[in-house]
Structure 1
Amino acid sequence: MKTVHEVAERYGVTDAFMALALDKIGFSHARPDTPLSAATIHRFEAEWGDKIRAKRPAAQPGFTSETDIAPTAARAARQPKPHVMRVAHSKVTAGRDASGRVVKRLLDYPVRIHAIDAAGTNDGDPWNGEVVPGAVHFYDGGSETGPPAACGWVRVRAVLGDEFVPADEPELENQCSLCAQIVAAGKGFRTPPHERSYRSPFCEDYLRVQIDGAVAVKNCRLRDFHDGPHRAHDGSEWSIGVDDYVPAPDELGRRITKAS
């Protein structure tokens, strides 16, 4: 018999999601080491298989309860996404969009340009290893929050789709000299949260959505193995993805779609 954790790995989902999904088909109080019968796995596949594959088409389980040959081959076929050291800003400002809502914006003249391996943050790399000049992703929270830059001295408030290319004279290019030194040495890359050996006591599920055309990353603020749907700090909730996404109070009436 396969455990909850083993089945979660085959489907490319977290143990917390597996526990929640199993509860919804009548299998309650599942833990990572809880064994699952073939009948339970078949029920899980019938209820959630297509939904998971639709959301994560690159992580198909491709296995049956009778054999482990297919999932092993599927795992071998998956290639790690490249890490790109990206341009990052430690300070941002705010303005209003065409609808009058307050939105975050980049400074016209940043104090200092830093570097960051976005793939190693909780939000992940918004552009999946691709260089997308001009694109920007803002991190949630206020000033002095966000993931640390490669230099480790400042917190990053925004990451750009541009690649950070260390200059010969960083100061003249307004680059953080320590970030430039680290990147030039081929260092500063981070292990993504889901690949780290330790497990956070908090749920690490997140959802990327487009709200009126702008990409937003919703991080679940609940503890690991929580009951019920995921919940972000702004009050939005989801279980699978955009299809069952419940907007935050200040998002009501706005156009919400799946982020590419």
Structure 2
Amino acid sequence: MTPLPRGRRPDDRGAYRYFAALERFDLTRNPATGLREERLPDELGAIHAMRLRETPDTRREAYFEARGPFALCGTHVKVRLPVTFRGEEDEACPGCAKRVAEGATRAPQAEGYYACEAVVLPDLPGFSGAVSCFLPDRHDGPHRTREGGTWTSGPEDFTPTGNYST
């Protein structure tokens, strides 16, 4: 009997699916609180695809202020939508539609190089952005941001760069 590929085992939580994603979002200020709030742009632009495991978090939009994760075509995206990517729609990115039809699982990378996909949202005052690891996939040691911040398992052990101040 051939084992099922990872993500297809009955004991895995949530199946993988292609989610729609956007390259940008708009920032507005809430008049009641004075805080910045992300919102979908009036003009969505190209709709990209991201392959993710379905979880309770994928049932709502996610905004990425840092570099953002990669879409299947290799473009950095800033918003993940809670809807399935549909490659036949007019606004669909042709590169993503082609990669979905091929059954791609991740963005194309330089020959033999895959970037680490770890992202963390530090729980620090005055630090509002999600940060992503820029090291290669399967690297040794802690994750590292381009600015020098590090973390091992999540926001609880995130250490910002020396120029961080509250």
User: TM tier, shorter chain?
Assistant: 0.5 to 0.7
1:82 aligns with 2:9: no
Q: Is the 8 A contact 2:25 2:78 kept in 1?
A: no
Note the C-alpha offset of 1:88: 1.4
Note the C-alpha offset of 1:177: 5.7
Q: Is the 8 A contact 1:221 1:231 kept in 2?
A: yes
Paired residue for 1:162? 82
Larger RCO: 1 or 2 (CA < 8 Å, sep 6+) = 2
1:113 aligns with 2:113: no
Paired residue for 1:71? none
Over 3 Å counting, the alpha-carbon distance change for 1:146 and 1:246 in structure 2 is: closer
Once residues 122 and 95 of structure 2 are traced to their aligned partners in structure 1, the CA distance between those partners, rounded to angstroms, is 35
TM-score, normalising length from structure 2? 0.56
Match of 1:208 among 99, 110, 120: 120
Percent identity for Structure 1 against Structure 2: 18
* Number of residue pairs the alignment of both structures matches: 147
Q: Is the 8 A contact 2:65 2:129 kept in 1?
A: no
More helix per residue: 1
1:138 aligns with 2:64: yes
Once residues 246 and 214 of structure 1 are traced to their aligned partners in structure 2, the CA distance between those partners, rounded to angstroms, is 14
DSSP 3-state at the match of 1:84: strand
DSSP 3-state at the match of 2:156: helix
DSSP 3-state at the match of 2:130: strand
Deviations along 1:212-236, one digit per CA (max 9) or x if unpaired, are 696724315389335xx54311222
Taking only aligned residues, the RMSD between alpha carbons, in angstroms, comes to 4.5
Q: Is the 8 A contact 2:22 2:78 kept in 1?
A: yes
Note the C-alpha offset of 1:189: 3.9
Note the C-alpha offset of 1:113: 1.7
Once residues 56 and 104 of structure 2 are traced to their aligned partners in structure 1, the CA distance between those partners, rounded to angstroms, is 13
1:147 aligns with 2:62: no
Deviations along 1:76-101, one digit per CA (max 9) or x if unpaired, are 884264112111123x256476467x
Match of 1:247 among 143, 160, 163: 160
Larger Rg: 1
DSSP 3-state at the match of 1:243: helix
Deviations along 1:29-79, one digit per CA (max 9) or x if unpaired, are xxxxxxxxxxxxxxxxxxxxxxxxxxxxxxxxxxxxxxxxxxxxxxx8842
DSSP 3-state at the match of 1:157: coil
Note the C-alpha offset of 1:191: 5.9
Note the C-alpha offset of 1:179: 4.5
Runs of 4+ aligned residues of structure 1 deviating over 4 Å after TM superposition are 93-100, 103-106, 177-183, 210-215
Paired residue type of 1:206: A
Segments of 5+ residues of structure 1 without an aligned counterpart are: 1-75, 120-124, 193-197, 254-260
Matched ranges for 1:16-55 at <5 A:
none
Note the C-alpha offset of 1:175: 3.2
TM-score, normalising length from structure 1? 0.40
Paired residue for 1:225? 140
Once residues 94 and 251 of structure 1 are traced to their aligned partners in structure 2, the CA distance between those partners, rounded to angstroms, is 25
